[in-house]
């Protein structure tokens, strides 16, 4: 029997804590090539509206420095690059080298060059000095982190005083009816689409399970406050299927 103190969840399974990073990495190595296509199919394109709203809440302007954690294929980075201009900088950080390569190629094809840097990094141990960034975002990545509190504390450390963190993540539906419909979609249709489009039902089954294991809106708000973020708020979108948490460092 495994010692619960040395295990963590990987979807609905319990695995040794020191194996989770590699397990999650394997999922994203598998899905990287089809990641953007699947995002559009899974959300009906609505993920673009969620990300657009996140950008609108960032307060980012020319000359600032932005960290896009778990930035994957670069949707947020591309928009931040235009906002900060050539006098600013955006760092797209991801723990997975396959996702970074897809993101780098995609942004190069879009002509996003010059003010973007790519860094392979673990959110729990960000390799940046204290008080570096004006804004930090993590979109659909926090639920895959092994120690979420440690990651949030790492983000708080590298954020400048006056800066803000934006966490865009799947969350808990606001009604039982929506939750039932969402469960049916997540555990039946999502793995099926993963099999047909990406030839990988298991990775998309894990992604559905990881959403259910993620802290709910109020719990995540409390976790952010515990590591020092202030004026923490969240906004539900699409009935709570997704929530945007915002916190400041003062």
Strand partners, 92: 68, 118
Q: What is the mean pLDDT of residues 83-91?
A: 97
pLDDT number for residue 164: 98
- Residue 192 belongs to some domain of the structure: no
Q: How confident is the model at residue 229 (pLDDT cuts 50, 70, 90)?
A: very high
Range of the domain at 221: 4-174+205-248
Do 92 and 70 form a contact (C-beta atoms < 8 A)? Answer: no
**Does residue 231 belong to any structural domain of this protein?**
yes
Query: Using CB atoms within 10 A of its CB, is residue 129 exposed (0-12), middle (13-18) or buried (19+)?
Result: exposed
Per-residue pLDDT tens digits for 149-184: 999 999 999 999 999 999 999 999 999 999 999 998
Q: Does 197 reside within a domain?
A: no
Residue 193 lies in a domain: no
Q: Please, what is the Cα angle at 148 between 81 and 117, to 5 degrees?
A: 20
* pLDDT more than 90, % of the chain: 66
Dihedral sign for Cα atoms in the order 231, 234, 249, 53:
negative
- Taking 70 as the threshold, does the pLDDT of residue 17 lie above it? yes
- Known binding residues are 73, 94, 122-123
Residue 189 lies in a domain: no
For residue 182, being part of any structural domain is answered with no
Whether 190 is covered by a domain: the verdict is no
What six digits make up the tokens of 220? 């995540």
Q: pLDDT of 43-55, one tens digit each?
A: 888 999 999 999 9
31 occurs within a structural domain? yes
Number of domain units in the chain: 1
Known binding residues for S-adenosyl-L-methionine are 73, 94, 122-123
**For residue 3, is pLDDT > 90?**
no
**123: CATH:** 3.40.50.150
pLDDT value at position 43?
Answer: 81
Tell me the C-alpha distance between 60 and 80, whole Å: 7
**pLDDT per residue as tens digits for the range 177-227:** 999 999 988 888 888 887 887 777 888 888 889 988 899 999 999 999 999
């Amino acid at each position: 029997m495994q010692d619960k103190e040395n295990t963590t969840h990987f979807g609905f399974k319990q695995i040794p804590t020191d194996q989770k990073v590699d397990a999650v990495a394997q999922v994203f190595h598998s899905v990287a090539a089809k990641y953007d296509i699947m995002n559009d199919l899974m959300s009906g394109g609505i993920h673009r509206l969620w990300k657009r709203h996140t950008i609108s809440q960032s307060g980012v302007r020319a000359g600032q420095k932005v960290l896009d954690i778990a930035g994957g294929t670069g949707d947020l980075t591309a928009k931040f690059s235009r906002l900060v201009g050539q006098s600013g900088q955006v760092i797209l950080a991801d723990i997975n080298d396959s996702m970074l390569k897809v993101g780098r190629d995609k942004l190069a094809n879009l002509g996003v060059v010059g003010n973007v840097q790519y860094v392979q990094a673990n959110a729990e141990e960000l390799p940046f000095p204290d008080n570096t960034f004006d804004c930090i975002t993590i979109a659909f990545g926090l639920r895959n982190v092994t120690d979420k509190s440690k990651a949030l504390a790492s983000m708080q450390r590298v954020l400048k005083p006056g800066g803000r963190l934006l966490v865009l993540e799947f969350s808990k539906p606001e009604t039982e009816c929506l939750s039932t419909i969402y469960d049916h979609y997540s555990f039946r249709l999502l793995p099926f689409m993963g099999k047909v489009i990406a030839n990988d039902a298991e990775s998309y089954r894990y992604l559905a399970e990881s959403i259910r294991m993620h802290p709910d809106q109020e719990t995540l708000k409390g976790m952010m406050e515990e590591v020092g973020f202030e004026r923490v708020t969240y906004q539900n979108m699409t009935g709570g299927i997704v929530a945007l948490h915002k916190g400041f460092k003062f």
